[in-house]
Structure 1
Amino acid sequence: MQTISPLLSSELEMAYAIAQAGHRYPGQLETFLAQQGHAYLNLKVMEITKMVGFAITQIVQDEASLLDLVIHPVAQRRGVGRQLLLALIEQLQRRSVQTLWLEVRISNAPARALYQQLSFNEVFVRSGYYPAEKGREDALILARALTD
């Protein structure tokens, strides 16, 4: 059974361990730890007593940016990311957020498919945004309106 709830500051190091397992190039721990406070909506997914994923979202006025959404590799391909993203969208709508923005690696086909299924639209390409094995990789910038 999965539950989605706020990610507590005491759980950030556990979430960062998931980021390290789920990303080829995880960001710096200091940056990760700084992404909390009143301007953030951070959620976690628990399976029984184990955290299997999280989302870090910054809110500025009526817009939000999904900074990171990671599901541990052992929990991927089971709809956990979809559930987390839908819960995040619902909470952002309750806060009257109008638009949710995110970026995704061009090569991340599973994430791109999920975002397309959930009505995210491609806005533009940010060249060389992500580190890659050979050089840099482009990011797709996506947005979804959260109001009718």
Structure 2
Amino acid sequence: MANFCFAVMDNEHISAVQSIEQLAHSHPWKPSMIADLNGRGAFNYVLMVSGQVVGYFYAQNIVGEVSLLNIAVAPEHQGKGYGRVLLSEFLKQCEGRNAESAWLEVRASNHAAISLYLAQGFNEVDRRRDYYPAAQGREDAVIMSHYFLFSGEF
């Protein structure tokens, strides 16, 4: 894996993120959603390799409960461990914000992502039936959560 760094997502990253979004997702976010960086509790990061955006995540922290809203790695960089690196940074950022829990939804057909989330301490807690549009019909969303251990004194 090449040297990488993280940066807080800024307007200068939007076109690269939009491009990855279009290539990495079957039903990508609208450009207006990609460009919205300042929503309530938002913290959004890009993963850079040699000055190039290769992945990103959008997250929202509302009173200690964090939602991972979107995460992607450019298709040409998939399979290199960058998804694990992005998810690890997301969890690190959650802990730094004293989050109690993190939540996400993932397509039931996305077995690689589900395996990654399970390996990083997420657990399946529920399903939303027929939630996501699919090429033919709809598919379930798997709802997953991760709880952080409280390190303070009781």
CA distance in 2, matches of 1:58, 1:7: 13
Q: CA deviation at 1:100?
A: 0.5
TM-score, normalisation: structure 2: 0.91
Letter in 2 for 1:58: Q
Q: Secondary structure at the match of 1:112?
A: helix
**Which string of whole-angstrom CA distances, capped at 9 and with x for unpartnered residues, describes residues 40-94 of structure 1?**
1101111101100000001101101000000000111111011111111111111
CA distance in 1, matches of 2:8, 2:33: 19
Q: Secondary structure at the match of 1:43?
A: strand
| Equivalent residue number for residue 10 of structure 1 | 12
Instruction: Show structure 1 runs of 5+ residues with no match.
Output: none
Is the 2:40–2:60 Cα contact (8 Å) retained in structure 1?
A: no
Q: Secondary structure at the match of 1:85?
A: helix
Q: Secondary structure at the match of 1:128?
A: strand
> Would you say how many aligned residue pairs link Structure 1 and Structure 2?
148
Aligned identity (percent) is: 32
Q: Which of residues 138, 142, 145 is equivalent to 1:143?
A: 145
Q: Which of residues 85, 88, 92 is equivalent to 2:87?
A: 85
Does residue 1:109 correspond to 2:115, yes or no?
A: no
Larger Rg: 2
Letter in 1 for 2:80: R
Q: Give the superposed CA RMSD.
A: 1.2
**Which string of whole-angstrom CA distances, capped at 9 and with x for unpartnered residues, describes residues 87-134 of structure 1?**
111111111111010000100011011001011010100011111011
| Equivalent residue number for residue 23 of structure 2 | 21
Does residue 1:36 correspond to 2:38, yes or no?
A: yes
| Equivalent residue number for residue 70 of structure 1 | 72
Instruction: Show structure 2 runs of 5+ residues with no match.
Output: none
